[in-house]
Chains A and B, each alone.
Chain A
Amino acid sequence: MNQEQVREITYAQAVAEAIDEEMARDENVVLIGEDVGIIGGNFKATVGLRDKYGDWRVKDTPISESGIIGLGVGMAITGMRPVVEIMFSDFIALGMDQIANQAAKIRYMSGGQVKVPLTIRAAMGGGRSSAAQHSQSLHAWVAHVPGLKVALPSTAAELKGLLKTAIRDDNPVVFMEHKVEYNKKFPVPEGEYTIPFGKANVVREGDRLTIVATSNMVLKSLEAADKLGKEGIHVEVIDLRTLVPLDKQTMIGSVKKTGRLLIVDEGHLSFGAGAEIGMGIMEDVFYDLDFPMMRLGTEDCPIPFSPALEFPIIPDAKKIYEKAKMMAKR
């Protein structure tokens, strides 16, 4: 990415820009979802697209998650590149059959006759007092289903490049946007660029500990790493970008260097994506580990409404800092 550009846009604007560019490029790209049209999305991430592309390409749908994902599957296997928005990622629970049993498997079941270039965008994560049914980070579910790809962009620049890749990918991609990021501004390069799937991003180099993080936890990890850096503890931070495909090589290289691995992912800790990140490279790094691999994740309780309860259960820079410091000590 061109470092000279200092243009700043929000994460939400990056969504709209990525979709806009892809729609301009390919008339097969359409956007459907609840409230994506007239008001430009519940999170204002698709503002302006309906005005530009019209009602049939930017379609406000009924509240029918299963139906609209299935609609996307049908469009995708007949030559289009639909982008389906599921307002809150918690609602993928209503469409899991179409995601996991249909979108993910139709190509395989057909023996390769069809392809499913479908992007499912959804807003994940806690931190906005949205309570138990609007705050989850359920990417572990979809990452467990062969046939799907899963992306978790951390910043607006990452989002834009990864979303364009998702839309151009000929496979179903579940694209998890973090809801606390939408209104934040980030430097984003001008012009066209894509970011390939399956290439983790080393966002900070270090030698004492590797932190592998996803989505918003990348930013929190960087905060923690900055603080540790000031104390002379240099921590490497890796933004995983995609869970599927999973870039094991970058992680393995880093852990071989640092000997220590902390995984930070916002999904519930137990049976979460972090477990795979660790076990997935276990055999490769076992003899290089100076310390047990450790994880941070959202505690194993439904997400409570009250901020007094919610913030303590989600990993933050302080918790990451403390855990990392404990691990990095010699």
Chain B
Amino acid sequence: MSYIPHTEEDRSAMLATIGVESIAELFTDIPEALQLKEPLDVPPALDPHSILATLREYSRQNRSLDEMVSFLGAGVYQHAVPSAVAALIGRGEFLSAYTPYQPEASQGYLQTIYEFQTMICELTGMEVANASMYDGATAAAEAAVMAHGVTGREEIVVSRALHPHYRECIRTYAPAVGCTVVEALWDELEAAIDEQTACVVWQYPDFFGRVLSPSHLVNRAKEVGALTVCAAEPVSLGVLRPPGAFGVDVVVGEGQPLGVPMGYGGPHVGFFCVKKDLVRAIPGRIVGKTHDKDGRRGFAMTLRTREQDIRREKATSNICTNQALMALAATIYMSLLGKHGFREVAEACVRNAHYCAEQLLRIPGVSMLFPDAPFAFEFAVRLPRDAEAVRDALLEQGILAGLPLGRFYDDRKDCLLIAATEVRTRAEMDRFATELAKVVN
């Protein structure tokens, strides 16, 4: 298959216009020695039908969440996504466009981004949101780097209950700009904040699903002039007090739960929000309202002087291509669910997870990892057996039991992180409890 439309005649006519004899002549700037003599070692061409057949074959080597009852979350959640989302983002005008550098040819997309920014602000309780980041982890890392830039300080204090991958990403990004990363347990986080602290970063609900008030962190950070960065799960914000209401400076997060396929980890979409006074420091695109000469409302990217194509090494970030299509998916998802539907989803998740926890805790030997902490729709349990072994045993029953925590926390090899969203039914959770009981004892 080839997507090249040229006919032999086209090529001849074009070469004649250019004034060369062959396409090869156009490549003479490339030293002969560098030009490939042999075809590359990649497989031969396939027609589209065979491409699909081959990939169908590959996908059968997967066991997708359509084929299992899953309680796996840990930052990526299975939700019911209305069919209109894929239908609308698949429209060619959206799918095949790029960054709206020319606003007059891109009003559709620009308006959707403005709507996205508004909705994200609504969820998080913040004043400004950008047009998207790559994902939750890089959004968190960008926030740390921004805090360094804003405060001129070099210490990034990070909660150990922040998603391990987010922490890894911060440890990749922050030291490069001269920061040190200090990790602390939630209970010790406040104490870790001091006059050297550029920012403190935590998660809400945290990696273990706990919902904990960050008021003390916000107060402490204010005292010492550090910024507060909260990584928030967006669907839970349908019922939880938004980070903005606690006075947080920066809210970041992963937008996948907002109608984006899990897709084995990507493409997802990060979000990034700040209080108004930080707007000139934030990474990525922002869309603002404006008008044409006849006063018609229009939208355009704005505060462009923060960005790499204009500010180069002084830019607030190196991000260029972002995750606009997924931000659009999230915007459509939130519109379709609407104020009430969205809240209902969040509530159903919370109710399901609590029901699920209740059933599991009836099993002798199963206990909550954090018995006293409130949780939203995810929770960690301690099992009487190695959690990986339990997970694998349940897989055979068609149940994906959650995430064994051993890989991330050495002392928690017997712990399982379990999520239940609105797609789980009572019967499925009952069966989970039944099967888990069989397996652990």
A and B held together in a complex: no
Contacts from B to A (Cβ < 8 Å): none
Contacts from A to B (Cβ < 8 Å): none
